[in-house]
Amino acid sequence: MRLQDKVALITGSGRGIGRAIALRFAQEGATIVVNYARNDCEGSAVVAEIRAMGRAAIAIEADVSSEAQVKRMIEMAVRAFDRIDIWVNNAGADIVSEFPVEAPWEQKLQRLLDVDVKGTFLCCRAIAPVMQAQGGGCIINMSWDHAVSGGMAGAHVFAAAKGAVHSLSMSLARELAPAIRVNVIAPGWIRTSLTQHQPEDMQESLRQATPMKRWGEPADVAEAALFLASSEAAYVTGQVVMVNGGLIMY
């Protein structure tokens, strides 16, 4: 068991990539704190799956863009399990489904920055002293491969937001070492509920352009997260791991 006796909190883990990470960590022996922002049914379902494996798990509702809610979530998690060894900043703003089509773009942009950038910052700032006090820990921040290559048409704002996550992570990796490791996972096109709305011709085009000739699955990202969270990555910090099947888009 690569994560035996570890406690992991994954933000936005009621579905998609976050859910896959939570389940994979549990399979490797970790105790899991599932975070969700709105859908308590999704959070409860993931907890039930983890407990069915014989692992301990709880679900905590919290909006990562709220400093008060982040601090409350950490207090609840520590009260339940005494410590937090692994923190995965996976929560991201779903501005496609969160807002009606006619909603002002400025409102959508603010939500994107609040969750993806501010939320990552607030979580890192809040969990760092907890990990330092307990002797160490691991932070994994989720990004997007377009943050490195630049966003495709219409996605430049998303790429810019995730680029900020990269810069923050690199700075924190230096600042928090050696006690805390900080790394980034930058997925490419992963098959989740957020990407299934893409037209079939675009999906096929992306498949053909990807050297691995397929879309990624949440499990692909979960395996990368498992490596970074484990002792196998004890000398890995300040790195960006691209999980995109080799696709490079400029």
Q: pLDDT tens string for the chain (250 positions)?
A: 999 999 999 999 999 999 999 999 999 999 999 999 988 899 999 999 999 999 999 999 999 999 999 999 999 999 999 999 999 999 987 655 555 555 677 787 888 899 999 999 999 999 999 999 999 999 999 998 777 766 555 567 788 888 899 999 999 999 999 999 999 999 988 877 666 666 676 667 777 767 777 878 999 999 999 999 999 999 999 999 999 887 775 5
What local confidence, expressed as pLDDT, does residue 100 receive? 53
**Local structure of 169: helix, strand or coil:** helix
Cβ-based neighbour number of residue 105 at 10 Å: 10
Rounded-to-integer distance, Cα 151 and Cα 15, Å = 24
Q: What dihedral do alpha carbons 94, 100, 101, 105 form, nearest 10°?
A: -70
Taking CA atoms, 158 is separated from 97, 110, 120, in Å, by 15, 12, 14
- The whole-model pTM stands at 0.92
Angle between helices 156-176 and 119-134 (to 10 degrees): 20
What local confidence, expressed as pLDDT, does residue 155 receive? 67
Sketch out the chain's domains with CATH numbers: 7-238 (3.40.50.720)
What local confidence, expressed as pLDDT, does residue 199 receive? 65
What local confidence, expressed as pLDDT, does residue 174 receive? 98
Task: Give CB contacts under 8 A, 24+ apart, made by 102-108.
Answer: none
